[in-house]
Amino acid sequence: MLLVSWKGTRFEVAGILRNVVDLALSKDPANPVSDDRLMNRAKAILLIGAIFKAVEPDEGEEFSERRELERLMGQAAAKRKQPKASRKEKSSHGSGATTPTVKA
């Protein structure tokens, strides 16, 4: 489930980024921009892209992210199993009614 969510978010961010770049590099008759300014914008976008591409995760970061993902997956699995355990407890008591504890 988390993987599907991650892929969907990544797709959405890529689409938004594509729209922003298209707007930054397009010529709008209502708001004229010189070719030099469009070229400077394109160079800036390439520079920002190179900076993001050059970033590498820390050695421990990938491991800790994987651990966090495993922890979240474990929690989700535990939540899915919990209602089944509750149903088993109710069925072991017969009608599902609980017997009060009496102290002597």
Higher pLDDT, residue 62 or 98: 62
Q: Mean pLDDT, the chain, as a whole number?
A: 78
DSSP class of residue 28 equals B
Which residue range forms the structural domain that includes residue 6?
1-59
Structural domain includes residue 90: no
Residue 61: per-residue pLDDT: 62
pLDDT at 9 over 80: yes
Between CA 66 and CA 76 the distance in angstroms is 15
Judged against a pLDDT cut of 50, whether residue 24 lies above it is answered with: yes
Within a domain: 98: no
Would you say residue 89 lies in a domain? no
55 lies in some domain: yes
Residue 65 counted as domain residue: no
Q: Is residue 76 assigned to a domain?
A: no
Number of Cβ within a 10 Å radius of residue 80: 9
- Residues 83, 31: Cα–Cα separation, whole Å: 60
Instruction: Tell me what pLDDT residue 57 has.
Output: 64
**DSSP-based three-state secondary structure for 89:** helix
Give the Cβ contact number of residue 83 at 10 Å.
9
Residue 4 within any structural domain of the chain: yes
Domain count, the chain: 1
In a domain, 51, yes or no: yes
